């Protein structure tokens, strides 16, 4: 049975204890948990109550730090992956789903009916609870809660899915950075046919800078070219070449020479 939005003092302790069990953390300062589940609409009606806003802000940062650190340890966390991580966390959908898993909305103190609470509010409260745990017991306890919900694993899975849909040039650059810890420097030798809007392009050679060369020498990726294919733009010709270059480097174990 769903609980009413305004929890009376006679049962609030029991409800907070229930929520502690669902979260998997026992608070030293239970007032932090109560603040984390209190919405602005409730605190507007009850001026003596603090809402979750400050804890949600803190929780968002703590979650981002934990996930970034885990991903940095397990694999190279380049700019593209950091941007992806930030965008996924900002969507908040998954955090809301984790909250719904434990029936979090049934414990939120809100001025409106709980069934009308948006996914964003659920996600915000989840983050606020993480912020409350951080203040109560430190970052390691927050990490335990995230592990309970398998949030780091979820982020890794999402990154793998996203990687499959990245343009081939980005896939090549990301893989190169992962192996060599620097950006690849690629140069193409083009051929063209026609004039103006009728110009067609193809790549006759693909070269990559040898990162181990003191003279900055470029090495040809043998066989990486468009062959007999012509393209209406340099970009399309490069896309075809990057597909071949990725396969070529994979076969060589991403060794330049």
- Residues marked active site are found at 60, 127
Contact indicator for 50, 157 with CB cutoff of 8 Å = no
d(CA 147, CA 150): 5
- For residue 15 the two structure tokens come to 């409800």
134: which residues sit within 8 A by CB, 6+ positions away? 58, 59, 62, 141, 142
Question: Nearest Cα to 119, choosing from 96, 102, 151?
Answer: 96
How far is it, in rounded angstroms, from Cα 244 to Cα 253?
A: 14
User: Taking Cα atoms as reference points, which of 224, 88, 233, 249 lies closest to residue 173?
Assistant: 249
In degrees, rounded to 5, the angle at the alpha carbon of residue 113 between the alpha carbons of residues 108 and 117 is 65
DSSP 8-state secondary structure symbol assigned to residue 2? P
Cα 94 from Cα 39, distance rounded (Å): 20
Residues 6+ apart with CB under 8 A from 160: none
């Amino acid at each position: 049975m769903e609980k009413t939005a305004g929890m009376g003092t006679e049962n609030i302790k029991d409800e907070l204890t229930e929520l502690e069990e669902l979260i998997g953390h026992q608070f030293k300062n239970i007032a932090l948990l109560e603040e984390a589940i209190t919405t602005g609409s409730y605190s507007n009606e009850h001026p003596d109550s603090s809402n979750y806003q400050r804890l949600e802000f803190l929780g968002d940062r703590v979650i981002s730090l934990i996930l970034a650190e885990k991903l940095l340890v397990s694999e190279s966390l380049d700019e593209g992956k950091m941007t992806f991580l930030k965008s996924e966390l900002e969507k908040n959908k998954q955090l809301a789903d984790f909250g719904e898993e434990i029936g979090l909305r049934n414990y939120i103190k809100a001025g409106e009916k709980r069934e009308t609470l948006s996914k964003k509010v659920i996600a915000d409260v989840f983050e606020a609870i993480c912020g409350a745990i951080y203040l109560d017991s430190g970052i390691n306890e927050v990490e335990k809660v995230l592990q309970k919900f398998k949030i780091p694993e979820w982020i890794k899975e999402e990154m793998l899915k996203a990687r499959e849909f990245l343009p081939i040039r980005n896939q090549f650059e990301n893989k190169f950075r992962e192996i060599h810890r620097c950006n690849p420097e690629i140069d193409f030798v083009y051929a063209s046919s026609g004039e103006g809007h009728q110009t067609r392009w193809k790549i006759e050679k693909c070269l990559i800078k040898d990162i181990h060369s003191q003279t900055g020498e470029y090495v040809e990726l043998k066989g990486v070219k468009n062959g007999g294919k012509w393209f209406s733009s340099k970009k399309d010709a490069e896309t075809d070449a990057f597909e071949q270059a990725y396969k070529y480097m994979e076969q060589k174990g991403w060794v330049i020479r």
